[in-house]
Every structure is written in C-alpha cells, then in structure tokens.
C-alpha cells in the first residue's frame, strides 16, 4: 500500500478562551491519498475550518495550539516543523482557497501582481516571468481575455471571476494539496457549477488532492470520493460518499442529509415536512466532555450516550461512525 | 386560475438612475424590474427565483412599497396600493409584511425581543396596550420561543431564533401577504429545516399568502405552489411547481436546475449539466433581442434580434422563449 499524502492522527487542537481551555478539535484522524478528493461536512462551529488552518499552520497565534497528535505531509511531520519550513510549504505544496472571494483579495493591488507575488516568493521567478505566468494561470482558470485582465483590480471583476483568481493563486506553484474552504458558498448556483467543473478539470490535469470544506451534501456528492462528517470538533462519521449517502450510520449525518429539501428526479405532489435536527451546535464550553455531544439533539439518545463518549465503530465496508447506536441505524 | 388572486402585479417596472460618464445631462436608467406581471392566489406561495442581480428582491420591495415603482399596478385584495399615500398607505402596510434575509442585521440590537415584535403594532395599528401584550405573547408561543425570552436582546439569540423573532414581527399586524426574502439562506442547514417547517405550519394556521424570494431551488421546490424565474429584470418562465421542475422549458431554467448539486444519484446520472458560460450582460446597456441569448446554448439569429414575449403554452405554462411553441417542448 502506498503511503498517503497527508496523514492526520489523533489531532487535538485547544483554544484558550476567557472561559478556559477547550478542545475545538478532539481526537481527529484521517488520511488523504494522492489525487483524492475528501470533504469535511458539518454545521458552522464544528471545527471544519480549524482543521484546515492547523494543516496550513495558520492557527490563530496565542489562542489556538496543537495540543497532541500528528499531521504528516508526505512523510514530514508538520506539528513540529519550524515557522520557516511551514512558510515554504504554505502556498507551495499546500494551498488554500477561502470562502469570501470579495474580501480575501487585496483591493489595492492588481490581480496579476497578487498572483505574481506567490511565484516570486516561492519559485524565485523574475518580475517579468512571474507576470507572464500570472496571465497564463488566469487563462488556465478560464478567465476570458486573460492577457488583458491581469492588470485589473479585484473590484473590476465579478464574484465568480474573483474566486477564479483565488484558485489561480492557489494553484500557481502546483501544490500537492488544495484546501477549499466553502469555495462556492457566496456564489450563484450557475457560477458554483462553473467553479466545480474547473476544480474537477484541474484535479484531473494536475493530480492535486483536494480537501473541500462545505455544508452542502449535494456538493459533496458531486465532488468528493470520501467524506468526514464533523460534529462539535469530533469525527461523527467517515467513509465513502456514496455509501454514507445511501446508508448513514450516524444520526447527525442522517439529519444533515434529510433536513435539506433536495431536487429529485421526479417531483410529485406530496411534500412531507422536513426532518428537523432540533437545537443548535453546543457552545465551546461543552466541547471535550466525556459523553456524546450530539445527544441533546438526537432522538436515539439513551443513558449510555450521556455517560460516555462513543467509540468509533467500523463497519465491513470501511465506514466508521462514532455512535453508540450505529448498528441500529 | 379559478380562485381570485390576493396579489396581482401588472407590468411592474422599477428603474434606478445611474451615473455614466460622458454625455452631459443625459440620464441613464437601469431597469431592475422590467414589465413584470404575476399573481398569487390566497393561501398559496409564489416563488421568485433567479441569480443575484436578476431583480427578484427589487420586485418584492416594490410590492411592499419599500422602493418606488416607475410604472405598473399592484393590486392587493382588490385595492391598488402603488399610489396610496399617508394614512391609506399605513393601512395597506399592515397587510403586507416582510421577513428579511439576514437575521443578524434586521433586528434592532437595542430593542428587547418583545419590543421588536410589538413595533409594527405601535406604528401601523391602533391596538390598545393590553391587547398588544396578548398578541405578542401569542406570537412568541406560535413561533416556538419561550415566554422568558421576551426580555432578551437580539444578540442573546442564535441565528435561527432571531429569524423566529423576525417571523413573529411579520405576523404581528395579521398581514394577508408575507414577503419572505431569502428567509433561510443565512442559516445553518439543520436550522433551515426548522424555519421552513415553521413557515409552512404558520401558513396553514393563519391562511397566509407567501411571496417567496430565493435562489435555492431545493427550498423553492419544497415551499412553493408556483414559481416565476427571473433573469435580468424579466420573468422568463412562470409555471406551477410540478410543470416547472419536471418540464423546465426555458434554457435558463434548465441550466439553473442542472447546476444544483444533488445527492440523488439517478438524477445526477440522468441530467447532463447544461453549462452557461460567461457572465450576464451589462444591465445598463442591454443587448437587443433575448437577454439570455449571449449565454444560451441553443440561441439562434432571431433570439439576438427580437425580444421574446411571455406567452402561455400548453398547461398554463408561461414562457418567454422563441424556441418553445404551444406543445411545450424544451428546445434543449
């Protein structure tokens, strides 16, 4: 078996808040293979973005820290790597696209300059070469008339185009891993479809592995091979996307799939009420307690759930769910 | 439609003056809503869908008299409301209420929850004070908030609870029409379901009529009885729920539907994605002909020359496309 590209083991990230130290990521393990697309799913406040930031070495300084566990990238341990080494890796081997294409570009530099900066810093290209390369990258992300648009400022572009610029920037150094944090949440559906197509093509052409963070099960089903459902900083369920959608083994996953009205092939007159997942994600003070954190919103709750944190149950098909009642589902 | 419509909008046009350099004294106008007509029967839900910039919110704002319409008529329960002023307008406002998209910015942070809900009663009705309190208490129970939460401030609530306060406020004056402008798009998925179920329950309880603005076709499919699709200020397709989703006729509607990512495997394999390249045209300098022609996969010469009218084809399906005839067959 080949070594996975990224291996995260028993990761625990602690945040220091006024109320004390809380684990926002608690014992999370997963692997990412070469050229694979894995998705993190969950509501806001479940620790999806924190995981991504920890891989990038971008946890908020002085507030968040990796308490235990390991992150291995291509055999190299990232949790103990020096700041200099992390800076080399960031943008070069692992890069990230953020949610808001409106605010993550610098408004006072042209998009060409912002892309060229990455190339000059990481690949030591000359000013001229980096600029030409920037134009090529814009063309690669299908911005029409790329040569003419490298000199544009972000405000001259539409939301979809700005997200393309972000993708061009992230792909400038041909990274091995691309982390996309809700890449299309702020965009219209037709633009979202264009961005997904672009990401799919780029992955096919460059073999980049993609970690996609989202809350949209539909997007996961279209884009990813495997998914990790996160709840309150913990792994709820992990496995192949098709398997999980066909048969979720965690009540939270089940809720996430059935609480959204999906467009189906043949619409009929009947409309059932949507399945509700009552309540909301617990507050940070609840994190880290030795019990099932989903119990308060779960209709399968028993005493067991409140007494002890459920262990991961593995099923024959490789699906793993952290639930006391996984077999019953 | 057999029932008399509660809301009837005819040839509604909203335009904004825009500054464009160059010619002196010449004003340019952006037609955000251009000659739009639709109607909603009492107790039913009409959705207006479209992408950002399509004019769906502006149309709704004009119906609620929150922006000025340039031309057209809005008839609510037999009364024309576009030309009302003063006290008549105040009376009319009571019948049309609004639920806003962002529950974080649409509640006054310095008012307690119960005062937020009471405000429309104070400004739009002459309800006596003790009765006001009873209405507020009732509404809190109906939207699923606890009585002790009345004294809290908006920042002490979660997003879903805030949206419940917004809904209670909209219900306070016993309106006939409620305009829901993307009521769930700012909420987490699990909370969306709670709010959508609540809205449907309230609709049956109070016999409400909804004008539902959304870009999320999954939500629209679940909530609405008929749907109007807008593109660049025009309605391009208008049909009841089943015919629109099962037989989308306009290429733009088909593209919108095919762009929605889905968990249904059979649908994913069945539908090929219809990509519409590029961006919408400049709304100030609209091309002649069909506004969708430059992105349409099946556009022909006539589409670039003549603007299609909204016509009714088989089954009462309304469509603005040259390539669809009375048999209601999709040109794709």
Tell if the CB–CB gap between A197 and B190 is shorter than 8 Å: no
Position A3 scores a pLDDT of 82
CA distance A81 to chain B (A): 36
Asked whether residue A184 is domain-assigned, the answer is no
- Whichever domain contains A64, its CATH number is 3.40.50.300
Position A41 scores a pLDDT of 93
Please give the model's pTM, rounded to 2 decimal places: 0.87
Residues of A in contact with B275 (CB under 8 A): 193-194, 197
CA distance A276 to chain B (A): 6
CA distance A308 to chain B (A): 25
Residues of A in contact with B197 (CB under 8 A): 273-274, 276
Q: Write down the residue that tokens 């009521």 correspond to.
A: B183
What are the structure tokens assigned to B289, written together?
A: 């002909």
Please name the member of B197, B259, B270 whose beta carbon is closest to the beta carbon of A274. B197
List for chain A the helix, strand, coil content (%; round to 5): 35, 25, 45
Sign of the CA dihedral with A59 first, then A225, B191, and B105 last: positive
Tell if the CB–CB gap between B270 and A265 is shorter than 8 Å: yes
Tell if the CB–CB gap between A193 and B273 is shorter than 8 Å: yes
Please name the member of B190, B258, B260 whose beta carbon is closest to the beta carbon of A218. B260
- Show the domain range for A248: 6-82+210-321
Compute the distance between CA of residue A231 and CA of residue A297 in angstroms, rounded to an integer: 12
What are the structure tokens assigned to A161, written together?
A: 């185009």
Ranges of residues in chain A whose predicted pLDDT is under 70:
1, 265
CA distance B262 to chain A (A): 4
Query: Does any CB of chain A come closer than 8 Å to the CB of residue B279?
Result: yes
Position B21 scores a pLDDT of 60
CA distance B36 to chain A (A): 22
Residues of A in contact with B144 (CB under 8 A): none
pLDDT one-digit tens code per residue, B281-295: 888 888 889 999 988
Q: How many CB pairs under 8 A join A and B?
A: 126
Please name the member of A188, A263, A273 whose beta carbon is closest to the beta carbon of B262. A263
Residues of A in contact with B270 (CB under 8 A): 265
For A133-281, strand residue ranges (E) read 177-181, 209-214, 226-231, 234-240
Please name the member of A188, A261, A276 whose beta carbon is closest to the beta carbon of B52. A188
Asked whether residue A306 is domain-assigned, the answer is yes
Closest CA to B194 of A98, A273, A130, A101: A273
Asked whether residue A76 is domain-assigned, the answer is yes
Tell if the CB–CB gap between A217 and B52 is shorter than 8 Å: no
Residues of B in contact with A144 (CB under 8 A): 278
Radius of gyration of chain B (CA): 21
Compute the distance between CA of residue A180 and CA of residue A28 in angstroms, rounded to an integer: 19
Query: In this structure, are residues B276 and B263 in contact, taking their beta carbons and an 8 Å threshold?
Result: no
Tell if the CB–CB gap between B217 and A265 is shorter than 8 Å: no
DSSP B208-264: -EEEEEES-HHHHHHH-SEEEEEETTEEEEEEEHHHHHHS--SHHHHHHHHHS--S-
**Strand B79-80's sheet: what is its strand order?**
B28-41, B5-18, B71-76, B79-80
Position B22 scores a pLDDT of 58
* Burial per residue of B271-295, b for 16 or more beta-carbon CB atoms within 10 angstroms, e otherwise: beebebeebbeebeebeebbbbbbb
Position A245 scores a pLDDT of 92
Position B1 scores a pLDDT of 45
Nearest CA in chain A to B242: A267
Please name the member of B189, B259, B264 whose beta carbon is closest to the beta carbon of A215. B189
Residues of A in contact with B194 (CB under 8 A): 276, 278
Tell if the CB–CB gap between B218 and A261 is shorter than 8 Å: yes
* Mean pLDDT, contiguous 10-residue spans, chain B (332 residues): 79 87 71 93 94 89 93 92 90 93 90 94 91 94 91 92 94 94 87 92 94 91 93 94 91 89 76 75 85 90 92 91 87 80
Nearest CA in chain A to B214: A188
Query: Does any CB of chain A come closer than 8 Å to the CB of residue B221?
Result: yes
Tell if the CB–CB gap between B158 and A280 is shorter than 8 Å: yes
Compute the distance between CA of residue A121 and CA of residue B101 in angstroms, rounded to an integer: 42
Contact residues for A145 (Cβ-Cβ < 8 A; gap 6+):
none
Averaged pLDDT score across all residues of chain A: 89
Number of domains in chain A: 1
Residues of A in contact with B261 (CB under 8 A): 192-193, 196, 216, 218-219, 221-223
Asked whether residue A157 is domain-assigned, the answer is no
Tell if the CB–CB gap between B279 and A260 is shorter than 8 Å: no
Please name the member of B160, B194, B221 whose beta carbon is closest to the beta carbon of A261. B221
Fold of B5-231: Rossmann fold (3.40.50)
Position B24 scores a pLDDT of 64
CA atoms within 13 A on the CB side of B34: 20
Tell if the CB–CB gap between B266 and A269 is shorter than 8 Å: no
Asked whether residue A276 is domain-assigned, the answer is yes
């Amino acid at each position: 078996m080949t070594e996975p590209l990224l291996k995260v083991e028993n990761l625990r990230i602690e945040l220091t808040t006024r109320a004390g130290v809380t684990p926002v990521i608690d014992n999370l393990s997963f692997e990412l293979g070469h050229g694979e697309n894995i998705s993190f799913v969950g509501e806001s406040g479940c620790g999806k973005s924190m995981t991504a930031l920890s891989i990038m070495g971008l946890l908020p300084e002085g507030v968040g820290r990796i308490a235990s566990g390991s992150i291995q990238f291509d055999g190299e341990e990232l949790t103990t790597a020096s700041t200099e080494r992390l800076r080399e890796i960031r943008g070069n081997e692992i890069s990230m696209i953020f949610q808001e294409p409106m605010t993550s570009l610098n408004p006072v530099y042209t998009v060409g300059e912002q892309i060229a900066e990455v190339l000059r810093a990481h690949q030591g290209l000359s000013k001229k070469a980096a600029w030409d390369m920037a134009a090529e990258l814009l063309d690669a992300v299908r911005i029409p008339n790329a040569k003419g648009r490298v000199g544009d400022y972000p405000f001259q572009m539409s939301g979809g185009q700005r997200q393309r610029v972000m993708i061009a920037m992230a792909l400038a150094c041909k990274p091995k891993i691309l982390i996309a944090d809700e890449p299309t949440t702020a965009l219209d559906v037709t633009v979202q479809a264009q961005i997904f197509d672009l990401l799919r093509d780029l992955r096919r052409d460059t073999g980049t592995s993609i970690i996609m963070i989202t809350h949209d099960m539909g997007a996961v089903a279209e884009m990813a091979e495997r998914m990790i459902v996160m709840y309150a900083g913990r792994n709820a369920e992990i496995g192949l996307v098709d398997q999980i959608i066909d048969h979720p083994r965690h009540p939270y996953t089940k809720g996430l799939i059935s609480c959204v009205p999906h467009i189906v092939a043949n619409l009929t007159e009947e409309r059932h009420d949507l399945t509700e997942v009552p309540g909301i994600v617990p507050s940070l003070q609840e994190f880290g307690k030795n019990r099932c954190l989903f119990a308060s919103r779960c209709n399968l709750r028993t005493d067991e759930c409140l007494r002890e944190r459920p262990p991961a149950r593995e099923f024959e098909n490789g699906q793993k769910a952290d639930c006391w009642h996984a077999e019953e589902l | 439609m057999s029932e008399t419509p509660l809301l009837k909008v005819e040839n509604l046009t909203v335009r904004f003056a825009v500054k464009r350099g160059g010619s002196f004294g010449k004003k340019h106008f952006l037609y955000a809503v251009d000659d739009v007509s639709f109607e909603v029967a009492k107790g039913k839900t009409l959705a207006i869908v479209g992408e950002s910039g399509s004019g769906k919110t502006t149309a709704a704002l004009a119906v609620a008299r929150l922006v000025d319409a340039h031309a057209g008529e809005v008839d609510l329960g037999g009364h024309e409301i576009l030309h009302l002023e003063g006290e008549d307008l105040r009376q009319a406002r009571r019948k049309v209420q609004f639920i806003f998209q962002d529950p974080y910015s649409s509640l006054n942070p310095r008012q307690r929850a119960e005062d937020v809900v009471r405000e429309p009663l104070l400004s739009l009705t002459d309800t006596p004070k003790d009765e006001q309190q009873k209405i507020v208490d009732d509404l809190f129970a109906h939207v699923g908030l606890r009585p002790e939460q009345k004294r809290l401030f908006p920042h002490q609530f979660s997003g879903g609870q805030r949206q419940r306060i917004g809904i209670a406020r909209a219900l306070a004056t016993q309106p006939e029409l409620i305009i829901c402008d993307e009521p769930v798009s700012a909420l987490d998925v699990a909370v969306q379901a709670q709010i959508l179920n609540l809205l449907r329950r309230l609709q049956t309880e109070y016999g409400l009529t909804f004008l539902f603005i959304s870009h999320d076709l999954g939500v629209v499919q679940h909530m609405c009885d008929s749907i109007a699709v807008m593109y660049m200020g025009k309605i391009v397709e208008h049909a009841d729920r089943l015919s629109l989703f099962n037989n989308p006729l306009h290429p733009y509607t088909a593209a919108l539907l095919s762009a929605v990512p889905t968990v249904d495997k059979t649908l994913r394999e069945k539908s090929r994605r219809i990509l519409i390249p590029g961006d919408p045209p400049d709304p100030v300098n609209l091309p002649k002909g069909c506004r969708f022609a430059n992105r349409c996969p099946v556009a022909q010469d006539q589409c670039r020359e003549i603007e299609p009218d909204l016509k009714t084809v088989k089954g009462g399906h309304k469509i603005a496309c040259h390539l669809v005839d009375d048999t209601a067959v999709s040109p794709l």
